[in-house]
Amino acid sequence: MSDTTLADISQEQFDAAELTLIDTMRTSYPALDTRRGTVIRDLLIRPAASVYALNAVNVETLANKMSLVTLANDATATADDYNAILANFGVSLNAGTLASGSILITVDTARDYEIGLGMLFADGAGLQYQTTQAYTVTIGATGADIALNSNTDGTYYFILPVTAVAVGTAQNIAQGTALTPVTALYGFVSAEAYSTFSGGKDAETIAAAQQRLPAAVSYRALESPASIEAKLRAEFESGSIGIEAVSTAGYGKRTQLRDKHNPMGFAVGSRVDVYARTYTTPRVVTLQKTGTLSGTNSYVITIDAADAPGFSVIRSISEPEAGIAPELSFGTLTVAGSYAFTESRSATGLTDTAHDIDTANSVIETAYTCYQQSSVLITGVADSSATHVFKVELYAADGIQAIQDYVDDPSVSNVEADYIVRSPLMCMVGARIPVYCSTLNVISADTIAAALVAYINGRSFVTQLTRSELIKVILSTGATRVDLSNTGMTLYGAVRDAAGVVHSMSGDTLDIERVVSPEVLLTPETCVFATETTQLNIEVIAE
Amino acid sequence: MNTATTTDYTGRQLDVELLQSITKPAELIPVTVSNVSTPPKMVAGIEKLVQRYALLLLTNVGEVKYDQEQGGDLMRLLLEGYVQDVGQLQYAFAYANDRVTRMLNEEDINTDLYVASSPDEQISTATLMDAQVDKVTSTAYLRVYIVSQAGEDFTFVVPVTRK
């Protein structure tokens, strides 16, 4: 019901209503004098005009709420108003998702700490994070308890999982961001983000929801590319996982290897690989892994399939309490400061699945799926004890296991084809960009970076990323020009193929076709561009 | 000078009678709101003109929501004690009368919106003839002489009371 009352009617609205009534009365009741000063004008026309104006306002409000176009011009429109229209297409606005990560908390006393459900921590900008369950922190922790570890300076630390209080990408704070407990914590010394928080997504804009409409109204089934995408979006888009983009490799596609399991190597169809991008900003999963000594200063850890199903790349391996610089080395795709390591991926769980995987090519055919595991040899560790705990950061898309389970569900699965879900190959993008702006309108590097991050993370399953398209984004922030000389704007990209080879690119265009290798699943149809704020080196020059 | 005439009001635009029967008087009689037990009557012609004039004259500017310009300030000036003598009364009346007369004329010539009215429903002039004050009842009686465009005239008394 509208909240508009007679008191809200403006003079203009009343005048229009009054004129309409007088004109109507003149036509229908010409014998009644409606001029000013008449009783009929005061007692009949004026009250009726107020009600008529109120009805007109309510009708206009209702009409505006029945169209996405007019609703966009209504500043009072709520998410419920939009959802009322979007429901006609089986779509609703995604309310956004919460970022999650871990906090490294340093305390000065070795004792048991009881961390309650909903304990709040806040960063300097006021962004809040809370525990989603109660924890007991103790030395010698077992089960679900959190271990209290000792530092060399006499303090102690523990790693506490937390989730953001509010949705949004702003909550994806960088590793090392200082936090403080909102309520007192006994013995508190300091706290910082143990890893880069990820998973936070802004509430969906109406423009983004409108882009989903064609898929929403299309046929939903595991059959064609459009219907597969519609099916997955219908199932996951409103929840915490979210589907940003989908690409499929079926019969005849160059990266479809699984339908050639015959002596002649002919494609026979009935095999589909679904690449589902479920993140905008790359999602970082942080694990603590205990390595086994395998040589001088070397340890081996195993990243099980369940640790991070379908993970793309190991971002860093470091000491558990280390906070290292987040900038990627675009030659190896690991963070500068990470331990050197050699990774060997393999397949797992093949005997328990009906999916057609060639065991002779299982590394490639299970790449970036929930049947992938990895054994990692870490070198250069200044330790010789039998075991050593490491902090391992991975780029891992959310929901790969859930999507695989969904397409395997007997009530959903295609009875004629074998579907496997993969995380897309991720081409991490970095850039060095000298930007010029007017001294009268200085643009901050953070503003430009935010715009570029949003744009690059929206480029999925396309062939290339060019300087010219990024320049448009930069200029839209208010910058006046970009240095395109030989020492000016340069793009960097690195993508790991299914065999583990990292392909690096640089220049004015990152072109996947230049490094295409279908036999190791590296093509534009399997690859997405992604970046983080820390990978963009933007220099703003006011002139 | 009042003369008895018969006017044919067939086909005229009508209004509901607000003021007590406004037949052309042989003597001066006060004009008051109709008794509620009296069935409502319709008015036309000079009676309607007088009714419109009186209604607008007795309306203060800003009183009518969505028509803030309607009326004059005569009532407000009288009731708030700004009129201390006859000269000030005549000034206040003249200002209010000018506003009301102009308002009536604007409505009368707006034939795009309203049906054209006959000359005996259109005002020509209105003059304050006399004013009497009854201090016991705190009432001022204003005797107004109205002449229509058709030349008909009418004198009526408008009571203004603090009670």
Residue A479: how many CB atoms within 10 A of its CB?
Answer: 24
Q: CA-CA distance, B144 to B129, in Å (whole number)?
A: 6
Please name the residue that has the structure tokens 């004039």. B53
d(CA A2, nearest CA chain B) in Å: 22
Q: CA-CA distance, A289 to A270, in Å (whole number)?
A: 39
Taking contacts as CB-CB distances below 8 angstroms, the residues of chain A near B52 are: 35-38
pLDDT over 60 at A374, yes or no: yes
Mean pLDDT (chain A) is 90
Of B18, B8, B10, B22, the residue nearest B155 (C-alpha): B22
Does B103 sit within 8 Å of A38, measured CB to CB?
no
Q: CA-CA distance, A333 to A315, in Å (whole number)?
A: 7
List all residues 6 or more positions away from A201 whose beta carbon is below 8 Å from its beta carbon: A94, A96, A97, A167, A168, A169, A242, A280
- Mapping DSSP to helix (H, G, I), strand (E, B) and coil, where does residue B33 land? strand
pLDDT over 50 at A144, yes or no: yes
Does B66 sit within 8 Å of A39, measured CB to CB?
no
Q: Which residues of A146-185 are buried (b: 16+ CB within 10 A; e: fewer)?
A: bbbbeeeeebbbbbbbbbbbebbbebbbbbebebeeeeeb
pLDDT digits over A463-506, tens only?
999 999 999 999 999 999 999 998 899 999 999 999 999 999 99
d(CA A65, nearest CA chain B) in Å: 28
d(CA B143, nearest CA chain A) in Å: 19
- Higher pLDDT, residue A94 or B17: A94
Taking contacts as CB-CB distances below 8 angstroms, the residues of chain A near B64 are: 42, 46
Interface test with B, best of A21, A25, A39, A51 (most B CBs within 10 A): A39
Cite the DSSP H helix spans in chain B. 45-57, 74-79, 86-109
User: Are A396 and A276 in contact, with CB atoms under 8 Å apart?
Assistant: no
- Is B108's Cβ below 8 Å from some Cβ in A? yes
Q: Report pLDDT for B5.
A: 45
Q: CA-CA distance, A18 to A21, in Å (whole number)?
A: 5
Q: Report pLDDT for A256.
A: 92
User: Are A236 and A242 in contact, with CB atoms under 8 Å apart?
Assistant: yes
Q: CA-CA distance, A394 to A214, in Å (whole number)?
A: 34
Please name the residue that has the structure tokens 């606005």. A93
Of A36, A32, A18, A28, the residue nearest B16 (C-alpha): A32
Residues of A with a Cβ under 8 Å from any B Cβ are 9, 11, 14-15, 18-19, 22-23, 26, 30-40, 42-43, 46, 49-50
- Mapping DSSP to helix (H, G, I), strand (E, B) and coil, where does residue A46 land? helix
A425-437 and A527-530 strand pairing: parallel
Residue A410: how many CB atoms within 10 A of its CB?
Answer: 6
Q: Kindly report the three-state secondary structure assignment for every residue of A321-373.
A: CCCCCCCECCCCCCECCCCEEEEEEEECCHHHCCCCCCHHHHHHHCCCCCCEE
Predicted confidence band of residue B76 (pLDDT cuts 50, 70, 90):
confident
Residue B87: how many CB atoms within 10 A of its CB?
Answer: 9
Q: Please state, in angstroms and as integers, the Cα–Cα distance from residue A251 to each residue in A232, A254, A265, B33, following that order.
A: 20, 9, 13, 92
pLDDT digits over B93-120, tens only?
999 999 999 999 999 999 999 988 899 9
Q: Report pLDDT for B34.
A: 54
Instruction: Determine what percent of chain A is predicted with pLDDT higher than 90.
Output: 61
Does A30 sit within 8 Å of B115, measured CB to CB?
yes
User: Are A371 and A310 in contact, with CB atoms under 8 Å apart?
Assistant: no
Does B51 sit within 8 Å of A31, measured CB to CB?
no
| Residue A90 exposure: Cα atoms within 13 Å on the Cβ side | 14
H/E stretch holding A82: helix A79-86
Long-range CB contact pairs, B132-140, < 8 A, 24+: B137/B161, B137/B163, B138/B162, B138/B163, B139/B163, B140/B78
And the tokens for A71?
A: 């609703």
Q: CA-CA distance, A40 to A117, in Å (whole number)?
A: 69
DSSP assignment, residue A249?
E
Q: Report pLDDT for A133.
A: 94
Nearest-Cα residue of chain B relative to residue A22: B113
List all residues 6 or more positions away from A236 whose beta carbon is below 8 Å from its beta carbon: A242, A243, A278, A399, A402, A403, A406
Q: CA-CA distance, A361 to A257, in Å (whole number)?
A: 9
Sign of CA dihedral B99, B104, B107, B108: negative
Predicted confidence band of residue B160 (pLDDT cuts 50, 70, 90):
low
pLDDT over 70 at B32, yes or no: no
Does A32 sit within 8 Å of B14, measured CB to CB?
yes
Q: Return the amino acid letter for A331.
A: G
Q: Report pLDDT for B28.
A: 47
Nearest-Cα residue of chain A relative to residue B53: A37
Most confident of A279-288, B42-51, B93-102, B134-143: B93-102
pLDDT digits over A276-300, tens only?
999 988 888 888 899 999 999 999 9
List all residues 6 or more positions away from A543 whose beta carbon is below 8 Å from its beta carbon: A436, A437, A438, A439, A480
Taking contacts as CB-CB distances below 8 angstroms, the residues of chain A near B16 are: 38-40, 43
Predicted confidence band of residue A67 (pLDDT cuts 50, 70, 90):
confident
Using CB atoms, which residue from A9, A23, A37 is nearest to B55?
A37
Taking contacts as CB-CB distances below 8 angstroms, the residues of chain A near B13 are: 30-33
And the tokens for A246?
A: 């989908």
Please name the residue that has the structure tokens 């509430």. A203
H/E stretch holding A256: none
Instruction: Determine what percent of chain B is predicted with pLDDT higher than 70.
Output: 74
d(CA A52, nearest CA chain B) in Å: 14
Predicted confidence band of residue B36 (pLDDT cuts 50, 70, 90):
very low
* Report field, pTM of the whole predicted structure over 0.80: no
Lowest mean pLDDT among A103-107, A140-144, A184-188, B56-60: A140-144
Interface test with B, best of A5, A19, A35, A52 (most B CBs within 10 A): A35
